[in-house]
Amino acid sequence: MVQAINGLTLHLAAREKLPPRRLGIIVPSSNTTMETEFNEMVPDGYTVHSARMRMRNVTAEELKRMDKDSLEAAVELSDAKVSAIGYGCTIAIMSREAGYDAVVRRRIERKVGIPTIISATAVLAAMKALGMRSVAIATPYTKELTKAEVDFVSKFGFEVSDYRELGIESNTEVGNLKDSVAAELVRELNYQNADGVLISCAQMPSARIIDDLESEIKKPVVSTNTATLWAMLQRLRVNDSIRGDGRILEKPPAYPIAAVPATSHVR
């Protein structure tokens, strides 16, 4: 009996010494996609943990209000001792002033001391790592927010060859879409003149169809969620191949990543 108890104690002690493999993501309260796709994509042995920022409709006003919740969400994730944090709302950053991604990243890292990836930064870094200079963009956003994203991407050296949007404000409505909607939106793009495609929005289901889309259009396809996961793993110096979710994860290009740089340094 004593030996069994001691054996259990030793076993638990050994487990506590293993490096944590917990990924934390901060998502809008109405997001139902990022957690699902992350759980389907992460390498064996990793777990995904989330905290939420209040947002129901994807408008500039609600995005700004939502962002104020990010620090509290980061503190909650720090209680779970996550190894890295991903800020999972691309348009909340891309719709703000230049350099705001770096402001958010520094604010979170100073508060909780955990490496943090901003999805907007991750998208740019992933496109750059895949050799994209021009991109066609598909979003579920309104015209106003999509134009803000196009302007943001253009400012950092990428030519936007074409873009399409669905014009949806309700975030839950976006999450209820089938993956095939993202695929059809990509097919409507003039991607022939682009180096690759970006499916933007952590809430727009798409990870399951990216592999097939890349085979169909013969170009790399990046989504907010595949780019964010890639960047988080790179930040943790994990280069595992993840099959079935696109080139960025299956043959992950190593990015010189003491951190994934802020957009102010992505050129």
Instruction: Tell me whether residue 201 is one of the annotated catalytic residues.
Output: yes
Coarse DSSP helix, strand, coil percentages of the chain, rounded to the nearest 5 percent: 50, 15, 35
Pick the catalytic residue: 89, 183, 189, 249?
89
Identified catalytic residue from 201, 202, 207, 217: 201
Measure the CA–CA gap between 224 and 27, rounded to whole angstroms: 12
- Pick from 94, 105, 115, 44: nearest CA to 70: 105
Contact between 77 and 237 under an 8 Å Cβ cutoff? The reply is: no
SS3 38: helix
CA 218, distance to chain mean position in Å, is 23
State the Cα torsion 17-20-21-27 to the nearest 10°.
Answer: 160
Please indicate whether residue 89 is annotated as part of the active site: yes
Q: Which residue has the tokens 């042995």?
A: 45
Q: What SS3 class is residue 13? A: helix
d(CA 148, CA 161): 15
> What are the residue numbers of the active site?
89, 201
